Amino acid sequence: MCGIHLIWGKGANEEAIDSMLQQSRHRGPDQEGSFSPWPGLWIGVNRLKIIHTGSEADQPFWSPDGSSLLIWKGELYNYQEIRNLLIHMGITFITQSDTEVVLHVLRVFGEKGLSKLSGMFALIFVDLSEKSVLVARDKNGEKPLYYAQNPDTLIVSSECNSIQSLKNSALDTRQLEPYFYLRAPLLGNTFYKGIHEWKPERYSKMLSHTAFHWAHIHSESKNVLEPSFDTFKETLTDAVLNQFHADVPLGIQLSGGADSSLLYALWYQETGTPLPSFTIQVEAKYRKKYADGDSASRFVKQFPSNHQLIEVTQKTFWENWDDYLKSLDQPVGDSAGFLNWMIGKEAKKSVKVLISGAGADELWGGYQRHKAFDVYQKRKDLLLRFQGILGKLPLGRSYQKFISAIDSDPRKTFLNFSGLDNFPDDLTEDYDRIFNRNFPEYRQMLDFDRQVYLVQDVLKIQDNALMAHSIEGRSPYLDASMLDLWRIVKDEELLKGKPWIKQSLRELDLSWISERKKMGFGLPLQEWFAENGEFAKCVFSAIKAFEKTHGEHFPVKMRALAAKPELGVKHHFLTLYNLFLLAEWVKLHKL
Among 3.30.2130.10, 2.60.120.280, 3.40.50.620, 1.10.3720.10, name the CATH number for the domain at 229-363+459-514: 3.40.50.620
Residue 551 annotated as binding site:
no
**What's the CA gap between 521 and 400, in Å, rounded?**
23
Residue 522 annotated as binding site:
no
Task: Specify the long-range contacts of residues 95-99, CB closer than 8 Å, at least 24 apart.
Answer: 95/52, 95/54, 95/56, 95/57, 96/51, 96/52, 97/51, 97/52, 97/56, 97/57, 98/51, 98/52, 99/51, 99/52, 99/57, 99/59, 99/61, 99/70, 99/72
**What's the CA gap between 80 and 82, in Å, rounded?**
6
* Contact of 4 with 136, CB cutoff 8 Å: no
- For residue 2, indicate whether it is catalytic: yes
* Contact of 537 with 548, CB cutoff 8 Å: no
pLDDT for 137: 97
| Count of beta carbons in the 10 Å neighbourhood of residue 249 | 12
What CATH architecture applies to the domain 2-216? 4-Layer Sandwich (3.60)
Phi, psi of 51 (to 5 degrees): -110, 135
Q: Which residues contact 507 (CB under 8 A, 6 or more apart)?
A: none
pLDDT for 373: 97
pLDDT for 1: 64
In order along the chain (591 residues), what is the average pLDDT of each group of 10 residues?
A: 92 96 94 96 95 89 96 94 95 94 96 95 97 96 96 97 96 98 96 97 95 88 81 97 95 95 98 97 92 95 97 97 97 96 97 97 97 97 92 86 95 97 95 96 97 96 96 96 94 97 97 87 94 95 98 97 95 96 98 95
**What's the CA gap between 445 and 439, in Å, rounded?**
9
Per-residue 3-state assignment (H helix, E strand, C coil) for 257-286: CHHHHHHHHHHHHHHCCCCEEEEEEECHHH
Segments in 119-246 forming alpha helices (H): 160-167, 176-182, 229-243
Residue 119 annotated as binding site:
no
Strand partners, 44: 5, 34
**What's the CA gap between 513 and 155, in Å, rounded?**
47
Residue ranges per structural domain of the chain:
2-216, 229-363+459-514, 367-451, 525-588
Residue 172 annotated as binding site:
no
Q: How many helices (H) and strands (E) does the chain have?
A: 26, 17
pLDDT for 223: 66
Question: Closest Cα partner for 517 from 311, 256, 260, 264?
Answer: 256
Tell me, what amino acid is at 126? V
**What's the CA gap between 456 and 34, in Å, rounded?**
29
pLDDT for 394: 86
- Catalytic option among 1, 2, 427, 458: 2
